[in-house]
Amino acid sequence: MARTDFTSPRLFIDAPLAEGARLPLDSAQANYLLNVLRLAEGARVLVFNGRDGEFATSLHLASRRSAALAVGARLRPQETAPDLDHLFAPLKHARLDYMAQKAVEMGARRLRPVMTRRTQASRVNIERLRANAIEACEQCGVIWIPQIEKEAPLERALADWPADRLLIFCDEEAPLGDPIEALSTVGPRGRPLALLIGPEGGFDDDERAAILSLPQILRLSLGPRILRADTAAVAALALIQARLGDWR
């Protein structure tokens, strides 16, 4: 049996959830349920807020443009995300949208854009990044909401690096090797982890030296071919979750 109901629509609702509550919908949510999905009175909708778990609700129509949800039973208690940060050099719009969605699906708890010397995007639209992350949660049965941080220089991220968090550095200049074997050497599952994926032009020598100077670092090869940054993120997160994360 599936862990959650994937036949019913799911919505993130930024409000307290409890059985018996009534949740008015904003115009975008009402339009999605009434005009896009064309749901009828009493339709089942699943909701979550990232704090209280997942609940079943029923749709109540006020008009063609407004509606509310009546909250029923809680279906799942709140789940905790893996303690996994994803650091990435920002990409251009469509590829950044894809990367954000896939990172959340793969279990990244925090999305942390870092600006490098070869980063092509000059700024990050945090609201768009958050919207893509929430959409991934809604579609994939995730009931926690990832933390979205503002962009910061790579140098600052490294200077503030916590001593107990292992940084898995996907480096196109790393010697070829078995990534599963490399991940098997870094300790037990459940430890604080972070993944760093660079810009499309790669890191320069000074950045690479600064990254490798961290006390908790694993330099990882992703094989004999150079991967695009969004592809590398998915590949690396799959390896991490399979070896050190919650896939086992």
pLDDT for 122 equals 76
Amino acid at 88: F
157: number of CA atoms within 13 Å, CB side?
24
CATH topology of domain 10-76: Ribosomal Protein L25; Chain P (2.40.240)
CA dist 88 and 104 (Å) reads: 13
Output DSSP code: residue 176: P
Cβ neighbours of residue 246 under 8 Å, at least 6 residues apart?
82, 107, 189
**132-186 pLDDT, tens digit each:** 999 999 999 999 999 999 999 999 999 999 999 999 999 988 998 899 999 988 8
Nearest partner of 45 among 55, 36, 35, judged by Cα: 55
CB of 166 within 8 A of CB of 192?
yes
Three-class SS state of 195 = strand
CB of 56 within 8 A of CB of 72?
yes
CB of 111 within 8 A of CB of 78?
no
- On the question of pLDDT at 33 being above 50, the answer is yes
What does each C-alpha distance from 247 to 107, 133, 178, 237 come to in angstroms? 10, 20, 19, 11
**82-131 pLDDT, tens digit each:** 999 999 999 887 889 999 999 999 999 999 999 999 888 778 999 999 99
> So what's the architecture of 84-243 in CATH?
3-Layer(aba) Sandwich (3.40)
Tally Cβ neighbours within 10 Å of residue 225: 7
Q: Tokens for 136, please give them.
A: 């991934």
pLDDT band with cut points at 50, 70 and 90 for residue 191: confident
User: Kind and range of the H or E element at 218?
Assistant: strand 217-220
- On the question of pLDDT at 198 being above 50, the answer is yes
Name the residue ranges covered by the structural domains of the chain: 10-76, 84-243
**11-32 pLDDT, tens digit each:** 999 999 999 999 999 999 999 9
CA dist 219 and 230 (Å) reads: 18
CB of 221 within 8 A of CB of 175?
yes
Cβ neighbours of residue 1 under 8 Å, at least 6 residues apart?
none
CA dist 161 and 170 (Å) reads: 17
pLDDT for 2 equals 52
Amino acid at 22: R
What's the pTM value of the predicted model, to 2 decimals? 0.91
Q: Tokens for 192, please give them.
A: 């604080």
Cβ neighbours of residue 156 under 8 Å, at least 6 residues apart?
none
Question: One fold for both 10-76 and 84-243?
Answer: no
